[in-house]
Structure formats: C-alpha cells, structure tokens
Chains A and B, each alone.
Chain A
Amino acid sequence: MNRFRRRGGGSPVDKPGDGPGGTHERPRVDDLGRPLNEAAVELQETGDDPTEPTELERLTAWLDERTGLAGLVRTTLRKVFPDHWSFLLGEIALFCFVILVLTGTFLTFFYVPSAGLVEYTGSYAPLQGAEVSQAYNSVLFLSFDVNAGLLFRQIHHWTAVVFVAVIVAHLARTFFTGAFRRPREINWLIGFGLLTFALAEGFTGYSLPDDLLSGTGARIAYSAAISIPFVGPYLASLVFGGEFPTAAFLPRFFVLHVMLLPALFAGAIGAHVGLVFLQKHTQFRGRLQRADNVVGRHFWPGQAFLSMGLFFLTAAVLAAMGGLVQINPVWAYGPFEPAIVSSPAQPDWYVGWLDGALRIFPPFEPTILGVVIPSAFIPGVVIPGVLFTIVGLWPFVERRITHDTREHHLLDWPWEAPFRAAVGAAILTFFAVLTLAGGNDVIAVFLDLSVERLTWIFRVLVIVAPIVAGVVAWLLCRNRLGRPAPDELEPMDAEHADDGPAHAGVALRRTATGGFEEVEG
C-alpha cells in the first residue's frame, strides 16, 4: 500500500541544495532574491486565473496587496509536519502556556499584591476575624466569594504543575533522540531558557498567595540566596528589598510573575517555534523519511485540526482537574507568619528535588581562614547550578565527546546512542531520587520508618541509583542495538547517521539458557 502519492506530474521532491546561484533552470526568486518554493511558484503560475475570483480570493487578494504575504501564508498552510506522538509534547506545553495566560489574566483582576494587613471578613468561617495580608485576603475572596473563582484558580495551578512536567518530557524527548544536534543547538538553549523561566514562573506564582507554606518556601529561597559567596546577602536584599520577610517582595514577585517573565516567555516561544519553522521539523528515519526531506501531513487543515483538537482536549483535562481535584488549599495552610511553620511541608513537585537536596545533604559547613561555607550552599546552589549547566550546554558537551559536527535532521532512537541514554537516565534518576527525598517525612510515616533512617537510605540512593540507572540504560541500549559494543566515544553511527534505512545491525534472539544468538534479520 503506497500511502504517499505523487502530485500530478513532475517529481514531488526537489533536489536538496538548490541554493541561490545554482544553475537549475527554474530558480524563480522573490523580491529579495530568495528562491520560491514549489507552492509559491504554483501560486505565481495560477495567479492570473481568468475565472471570476471567489469571495475568499477577493479577501486574500485585498490582504496580499497590502502585505505581500500570500506566498508565505501559502507556504505555511502547505508546510509538512512529521507525525509522531512525541512531537506533540512541545505543543501541549505551548497550549498550557496559553491556558496559563488566559486563566492568569482572570486571576489578576482579583489578586492584590500587598502585604498590608486587613481583617478577614469573607465567607470562610474558620479565618473570620483573623488579621491577614491583603494578598491572602484577595486569594480567599477569589476562592470563596467569586463565582467560578476557585475553578479558575485551581485550573491555573494545575496547568502550571502540568506545564513544567510537559516541558521536562519534551526536553527528555529532544535529549534522548538527539534532536538538539547541529543545526538545532540554539533551539536547545532557547528551550532550556524556557524551562528555567517556567520554574521561575512557578516559584513566583506559588509565592503570591502569601500563605504559610509559600512564605516558608520564599524563606528557604532567600536562605539559599544568602549562601552565595559574599555577594549573596546583597543579591538577596536586592531581590527581596531587604532582609526577609519584607513588604516589598509580594509586589515584586507579582510583577515578575505577570509581566516580565511572561514577556520573556512569549518572546522565547516565538523564537523557539520560529526556528522550528525555519529549520523544519526533525523526523525518525523510515521508508520515505530521509535527511533531505520532511514527510508528514500538510499543516492545513490536517495538522492544524489535530493541534486545535489537542488544545481543547488539554484544556478539557485541566478544567476537569481544576474542578474536581483540590490543589493548594491556602485557607487550610493559614496566612504567612514568619515564626510559624507547618508539618509536613512539601512544595510543588518541580521544586521538590531542590528541597530534597537540602534535606539529605549531610551537615557540611567548614570554616576556612575564617570564611564559612554555609550548609545550604552546596545542595542549594552548587548542585542545581552544575546540573543545570550540564543540561543547558549538553549539545556542546556531547560534541566534545563524539566529535560529531555534522548536520542531523533524522532522529536517533534512544538506544542508538547508549552513552547519551545512560547520561540521561542517570540525570533523570538523580532528580527522581531527590524529588522523593523532598517528601522523606511523608514517606517515613507511610513506610513506618524513622525519618533519620530514611534520610540515610536516600543519601545512599542518590549516589547509587543514578549509576545503576546509567549502567542499566547503557546495557539495555546495547542489547537493543544488537551489535558488538561500539566505541561510545566515536561519532555515533557515522556511516548511517543521516541516510539509509534503520541501523544496519544483526538481530539477536534470547535463547532458553539466557544467552543470545544471531538470527537472520
């Protein structure tokens, strides 16, 4: 069955590399001297159609005469999108951002970014008469006294939680398939920036209700900041407007959360998606898929409808979660009081690994020549800094290891790069163990262990588990690859990286005795 059908006449595939200056018969060019693609040429050819223009044609003509964009729009509508479920992760992240902006805008109409104290007089009985900040007061008002207010607040929070998770999944997809390789290093960096913006958005947003839990989180962030060598107390003072707690930090976090970070975010998303548009999407190699083409559905209407549908389905799931599953019940935590703390205390999941690192790092606070290295410095600053640097610069780290500087438009299957897969598995496991450690008090109760013993278990696990995960991933990949161990430090699959069919290897079959034998593949 041939799913691909040629267009009427002519080859559907242009030869790659028909750049400007080629001697090809047909280099039709636009006003800027760029070659027109097939679609635009077609448009040119059919442009002087003698038949009566339709209403739609009249509208597009009106716009084109004023913008000159018809060719670009046509190209966009006919753009080809490769089809693989994992390519939808980035789209879901984008949709989450849209939902966050929509629901967040609604929230800003009610939220008051002020630490000024008022007496709570709303309809939540247990807190009536309590002196609370205007911020906390406004969140309670929105939750209890605004019709659909709690729904949209909870959708916003759930979306934020899902948002970071989907970004991490998208990042993992990009990592394990090698989609970050040349020419897409810039987009990896932009994507990494988006992850850090998302974390910053999450943390600032989490802090805004000024409840006991979020205030404690802000206190810990402040403490991590002052552990930065010498300039830490200055930095912390500049961010928080003085020594924690201050009246300044809520309005500042609010501006960061609703203005600066979203603006950065929107700009970075534009660049991220724009680069995908310019570079065209990557794809897995297949019968038709080669390094010099893109195989998939046209953007309009097939892919666009799928994406629209996915947007509404994403929104539907988040609406159901926002309506049915409670999240961040700030009225139960109570207003922030610097001298009060609740137990157990867990942050949103994406901060859990940082909290876990702070929990299980041993008490290490040496004094060298009178200078104290604070106990929060290594787990709170060095470990996250080093890890994020490695992840952020991974395209360049991997290139140093593999010396692979060629262009890649075809994706690896994760097992085709065992070393990369091992590193990825180890890093993910490290984060996972730390995240679990962030809940050690809860897990201790659940497992009926003492927190002390469980902390020691995590201290061992955080070293051992990533190594085990890395080795296991490496072995599984090699097994799946089905060929003798390649030197992992050589360019991966140099012969077949960008052309030809799937990896040329031998198939292995597990024998009854547990060994392996080659089979005809």
Chain B
Amino acid sequence: MDYTFQFEQVLPQLPYLLGGALVTLQIAFVTFWAGAVIGVGGAIAKVYGGTGARRIASSYVTFFTNTPALVQVFLLYYALPDAGVLLESMTAVLIGLTLNAGAYLTEIIRAGVISVRRSEMEAAIALGLSRLQILRHVILPHIARTIYAPLSNFFVWLVLGSSVAALFGVEELTGRAINISTANLRSIETFTVIAVIYVALTLVASTSLALVGRWAFRVRAKVF
C-alpha cells in the first residue's frame, strides 16, 4: 500500500474550514439555548403540570428521544413543502435539531428540578426567607449545580451532532469539508484535518465550560 498524504492541498483551506467551525458553534449555540427554553417548559410541565400537560410533555420527549435527529430533519425538510411550508435548509436543520435538543434538555432539567429536597425548602422557610429569596438563593443554585455537568456534556454532544446539517447543504465544518474534498479529491486528508478541528473545538468547549462551572457555580467538574 503506497499512499502519500498530501496535506498541502488542504492546509491552505484552513481559514475556510475554521469559518465552518464558527458556523458549527453557532448552530450548537442556537439549538442549545432554544432547546433549553423548550427544556425548561417541558420540565415544569412534567414536574408541576396537570395530567394533560404531563402527558403532552412525556410523549414529546419519548418521540424525539427514540427517533434519529437526521430523519426528523428529513421529515421537516422534505415533507413540510407538501403542507405548503417551504423551509430553507438552515432553518429546517435549526428547527429539527432544536426540537430534538429540547427533548433531551427536558429530561436533564427535570432531573435537576426533582433533585431539590423538601427539607431544603423547609430550612429556607424556617430561616425566614421570602419566596423570591428561596428561589434565588436555594432552588436555582441547587438546580444549577446538579445539571451543570450534564448540560456541558450535552453542549459538546450538540457540537458533534450539528454535523448532520452538512447533509442538507449547510456549510458548517463538515459541509465545507465535503465541498473541499469533492474539489481536490483528497478526502482522507480533508476529513482528518476537520477531525482534528472537531477535537480541538470540543476540547476548548468542555475545558472552558468546566472552568466557568467551577468559578460560577462551584461545580466540581473534572476539566478532563
């Protein structure tokens, strides 16, 4: 087997690829925060909601966590035109991934909400804290500490999962790599380079998230 690696055909494209990495991060950010809004709503519905709200939230979570994100976006992208709604590829990807992330985030946030113990609340009431103070000083810090680590793992997972967008023609990191490799036919080199970029990206993300967690919420997260 004699194969000569020719990275010199890929490396000049590095700025283009790094621009794609930025798009990847943007997709991950948008889906994370939009998903978090759904997640908070879903978690509240699941914990405090009536039977109807609970059932709706549960079936949403069950459906979206048991089917692949790729097919969910397929359905949005190819089926909605049938109903007269034409989505741009980026919009379809963002909506699909957000709905998917929302389901997982509902479960993560719900775990945080139910981890608040009754005795904590009682102690806070005994200390004469007002409702707002209890929320601000007891409940929210507790929830934040409990869910911070799973949330940061999930963000990293979203960075990797956003590569699905490439299959719909969105030019994020993987999409740009596909563009380059179809032009220069140096597929192994191109995809190795973006693999390294993904590793660097997620390392930076998880390290900085762990540091922020230590500083802001006193989460004892392992940096590695």
Asked if A and B bind, the verdict is no
Binding site for B on A (CB under 8 A): none
